[in-house]
Structure formats: structure tokens, C-alpha cells
Amino acid sequence: MKLHQLQALIAVADHGGIRSAARALDLSQAAITRALRELEEEQGLPLLSRHAGGARLTFGGLTLLPHARQIASQLEKAQRDLASLRGEAPTRLCVGITPWFGQTLLGTALQAFRQQMPGVQLELYEGLQAVSLTLLRSGQMQFALGPAGGLSTQEFSHEVLAHYPMRVLARIDHPMLGARSLGQLLGQDWVMNFTQAGQQALMHQLFGRHGLTIEPGRIVCAQSSAMLSSLIIDGEMLGFSPEPMLLCEPLRSKAKALELEESLDEGDLSVIQLRDQTLDPAARCLVSCLRQALKASNRSSDVTGRRIMEKLRLSF
């Protein structure tokens, strides 16, 4: 297998056809077709199925695709690391940003980053763990800014920048808004964000340690902050969420935190990376800008900055 063959496979998967893949890679359709045919001949399997609207990967192609992505990503990482050793400035940076930070302080941090690293192209993902951990493992993402609770310390390392309260949220006219204990809420439908590996720990954190159990069917796992917010507001579900999410629309004007007698664990805002991985200069610069944005909000005279700091406890 050759790299250009794997890149052709990835491009067809991402863009839905040979013509679009060729355009994305700035190659001719003939070059893409030739690369894929050579790969099919080498492997003795059909990897692509053509149809009127374009092309799709066969089962063999879908089996190879995640390996192709990992190989391409690892090569890109190797090129970044070697460029750093040569003293060359990075040209691209991929990071994950937890939703509430992305909607509050990220703009301030990126203004400072752009002044220091104007030539770096940023690729930003909504930094929910289900997305970020996969991209961190593949080498495509350098770091994620978000909660590190429950992560494997053998696989990941993290630096905590701040802590914040976790709260149970409900629409402002929810019939259970006046509830004062978790026990009153077990018959309600809930929406949360978690990975499959972290579900058990989250259920214990919220319910189990208080001697409570909830039917699994009552819990919806939303891998998008927009879906989570929508299900709290439009689906009348209860949410378990960082309190800073109440500063973000649409929750800011349409949801409130319940005042419960049980104590809820704090969440953390951490810089998460693969253990033993070294951040390149662009990544280190962005981390510095994130810290600066947090410090600046602590001294901010505007309403949003003050409200953020009311909900955060800095760790540096």
C-alpha cells in the first residue's frame, strides 16, 4: 500500500465520488482512478462501488478506511514533528474545544493567537469526548480543551486550567423546576453527554453515590451540545451539564439550574493530550492564549466576563 493510494481512498469516502475527490486533492480523475485500481489489485478485493451519483466504499473499503486515516494522520504528525526540529513554523493546528468555552472565551483567545501565529490554519472541533478522544488517538488532533474526568492516565495526560460546578438543568417552565432532591427526578427523561466507556462512572457520580438508581431508558446520550440544548428546551428533558452552559444560547434565556440538596461533583476544564506526546509551537501558543483569556475574564469589567468567573475556579 502506498500513501497516495490511501489518500485517494480517504478522499472518495469524504467527498462521495472520484470527481470530487480529484478536486479536493488537486489531481486528475484518471490519477485517482489509477491509484484505487492499483490498490484493489494489490489487495485482491474491490474497494469501491460506482453508481450514478458517484461512488461508495465496499465492505473491504470501509474496513481499510480507518487504517488509512490513521496512517495518513500519523505521517502528518511525523512531518509536523520533523518540521519543528528543523525550526519551521507549523502551518496547521487541529484542536477540540468544549462547547461552553467555544461560545464564551474562545474569540478572545483566538484574537491573541492570530496575532502571534498568523500563518497557522486552525481546525476546531466541538470538543465532546466521543469526538476528541478518537481524533487524539489517531494523531489528527494535538490537544482537546475539556473535561478530563474518567480518562485513562496510561493513555492521556492533562493539565487542569479551571474547575466549575456541574448542575441539573431544566427549561424555565419545567414542572420539576422546584424539585429539591434527585430522588424526585428519577421518573423524568434526561439528556447527557458521555462516552460508552464513561457511562457507568457518570451514573455513579450523579445517582449511585446518593443511593439512587435510574432506568437506562430514561437517559439519552447526545453527542452534540446543540442537540443537548434542544432536548432540554424542546424535549422537556433534564440535563446534567457544566454550569457555564447557562451563559450560552439557547440555554441562557430558556433554562435554569435546579437547587438540589445533594452535592454534585465539580467538572474540570483541562488541556488533554496523548501521554508522552509533545505539543508543537502552535499548540503551545494556543494553550498560552487560552490561559490568558481565562485570566483576562477574571479581571474583566464586562457582564459576560464577570458571569464566567462567578462559575469558574482557576487552577493556575
Residues 157 and 246 sit within 8 Å (Cβ to Cβ): no
- Is the CATH number 1.20.1200.10 carried by domain 3-84? no
User: What is the pLDDT, as a whole number, of residue 53?
Assistant: 67
Specify the DSSP element, H or E, that contains 258: none
**Domain 163-267 adopts which CATH fold?**
D-Maltodextrin-Binding Protein; domain 2 (3.40.190)
How far apart CA 233 and CA 226 sit, in angstroms, is 11
Q: What is the pLDDT, as a whole number, of residue 173?
A: 96
Q: Could you tell me the residue ranges of all domains in the chain? A: 3-84, 92-161+272-309, 163-267
- Grid cell, residue 215, equals 432506568
* Burial category of 270 from C-beta neighbours within 10 Å (exposed 0-12, middle 13-18, buried 19 and up): buried
With beta carbons less than 8 A apart as the criterion, state whether 149 and 268 touch: yes
Q: Does domain 92-161+272-309 have CATH number 3.40.50.1220?
A: no
Q: pLDDT value at position 64?
A: 94
> Which helix (H) or strand (E) element contains residue 272?
strand 266-274
The overall pTM is greater than 0.85: no
Mean pLDDT of residues grouped by 10 in the chain (316 residues)? 90 88 89 93 90 83 90 77 70 94 95 95 92 85 93 91 97 97 98 90 94 96 95 97 95 96 95 89 95 86 77 92
